[in-house]
A and B are shown apart, each in its own frame.
Chain A
């Protein structure tokens, strides 16, 4: 069975500082990877996804994630965070035709 591990349940960071949210997955075969963001009192929204091709994927609001097959990771990074980035972030993985499995989420708290 596939699993997704987000080791950090909460990440506080000062505004304009860089941030990395970690995601590791367990799978011995090809996977498809996603990051979703959940703003307070809202549903989840797709932030970015890796299906194939370039291992570095970017979102429109400055986040990026790199698929690292050897380390089975898909960490999310942003060089300079804003207050508006305060949210909970979920990593998700799909292996082949299996269903999507979500991680337990990481709450990003941006401190003014």
Chain B
């Protein structure tokens, strides 16, 4: 089954404690991205990757890091989480991307609800 898998689904952590949210896709997609969803703000892109070892900032990259060492994985790293990073996070992938966008259907993970206290 084609899917994007995020882990964990729920996470509560304390300010300053480094954490990683994993994202994996089994569709051999080139393009992957991370979004955060906040009430009244919709989805905002954090980082994206057009292929292995190619990443770039989205709209709200501050406080986040990513890496793309393998095509299937695109982890999101919070080196020192703060309460304003409490949010619902989504990973997405699609077949191709040009100029930082996907020109085919995007597949989303189930989401990771992060609470930073």
Contact = CB atoms under 8 A, between A and B. Distances in A.
Interface stretch (B12-20, B77-85, B98-106): B98-106
Chain B residues touching A, majority SS: strand
Interface residues of A, number: 23
B48 A99 contact: yes
Looking at chain A's contact residues, is the secondary structure mostly helix, strand, loop, or mixed?
A: loop
Contacts of A105: 42
Chain B contact patch, size range: 20 to 34
Contact of A98 (B4, B48, B99): B99
A98 B108 contact: no
A45 interface: yes
Interface of B: 4, 35, 40-45, 48, 58, 90, 92, 98-103, 105-106, 108-111
